Amino acid sequence: MASPVSPLEAEEDFPDDNIPDEALVEPSEKSLSAALRARIERNRQRALMLRQARLNSKPYSKPNGQSIMKVCNSEIDTGAGFFLDEDQERDLKNQKVIYDEAPSLLIGSCNCENCDQKFTESYLLKNFECFVCDSCREENDETYNLITKTDAKTKYLLNDVDLDKREPKLKFIVRKNPHNPRWGDMKLYLESQVKRRAIVVWESEEKIEAAKEAKTEKRANMKKKKFNKKMKELRMSVRSSLWQKQTSTHQHSYGEESYDEEEDMYSKTCTTCGNVMTYEKM
């Protein structure tokens, strides 16, 4: 059996041109068959060796040419002073862009509550349905201040129902928490609207202040009571050797019997705890 040869040697040792065309058209049928069989065998051996050589050079290549695993991501220069990963670029491409709605032409112009000038769009009108132009909002920033939901509940003694469910529902905007984004989004209300809602609930500002004072006093009393309880437990723990808990039940010791003529009833009084036992005699 012949030893295997390399693909280059196969191409050099068995070229197709070594067989003359006259040998293929000899009148003898036996010589034609042998020549054809030799040529077919040489071409087959050469094809097998070329295939084996390709497999040895790329043993794990896939037919479609796709890589199995991506080792690292390439960075893209944004031209703005930082690099962007491919994953981030893909997320930005898949992210939906939300556009602000244009002011409706059917509403027409509105009059500002402060300056009485006409305007078609403003920050307070868009987010809180408050008819105030942007110029007045910038000039009176403290009047149209925003307040968080927690501060609104603490300052004006409102609950979730008063803010979000009582009609008409108060408008709010959602923003990320500036202290820590992981704490969740926070709701911002227009403080002037929250104040008006508190007056509707409590009827007046004086009642709001009175309720706040009562709440503060109640909280102080609860703290004082808790403090006194801890102090009593501390005294009892220090004087545990002198204090003994009464585990036995109380036994009444009644005195002399007395008679009530109007009720026709008899009674006895305990000399220790003052308990009165009333009964009648047949």
User: Tens of pLDDT along 42-74?
Assistant: 999 999 999 888 888 776 655 555 444 454 556
| Range from 23-27, 77-81, 246-250, 269-273 that averages highest in pLDDT | 269-273
- Please say which residue of 91, 123, 144 terminates a domain: 144
The three-state secondary structure class of 57 is: helix
Residue given tokens 């990320």 in the structure block: 176
CA distance 195 to 157: 10
Nearest in space to 10 (alpha carbons), one of 33, 34, 41, 55:
41
H/E element holding 258?
A: strand 258-260
93 falls in which pLDDT band (50, 70, 90)?
A: low
> 216: which 2 tokens?
């503060």
Residue 242, domain member (yes or no): no
Averaged pLDDT of the chain? 78
Residue 244, domain member (yes or no): no
Inform me whether the pLDDT recorded for 164 exceeds 70: yes
152 falls in which pLDDT band (50, 70, 90)?
A: very high
For residue 171, the tally of other CB atoms under 10 A from its CB is: 15
Domain with 135 in it? 110-144
- Please say which residue of 39, 57, 75 terminates a domain: 57
CA distance 129 to 169: 11
Residue 22, domain member (yes or no): yes
pLDDT in tens, 102-141: 655 545 578 898 888 888 888 998 899 899 999 999 888 8
Residue pair 156/198 in contact (Cβ under 8 Å)? The answer is yes
Residue pair 236/249 in contact (Cβ under 8 Å)? The answer is no
Nearest in space to 113 (alpha carbons), one of 142, 133, 90:
133
Residue 138, domain member (yes or no): yes
CA distance 241 to 126: 72
Instruction: Count how many domains the chain has.
Output: 2
- Average pLDDT for residues 152-176, to the nearest whole number? 91
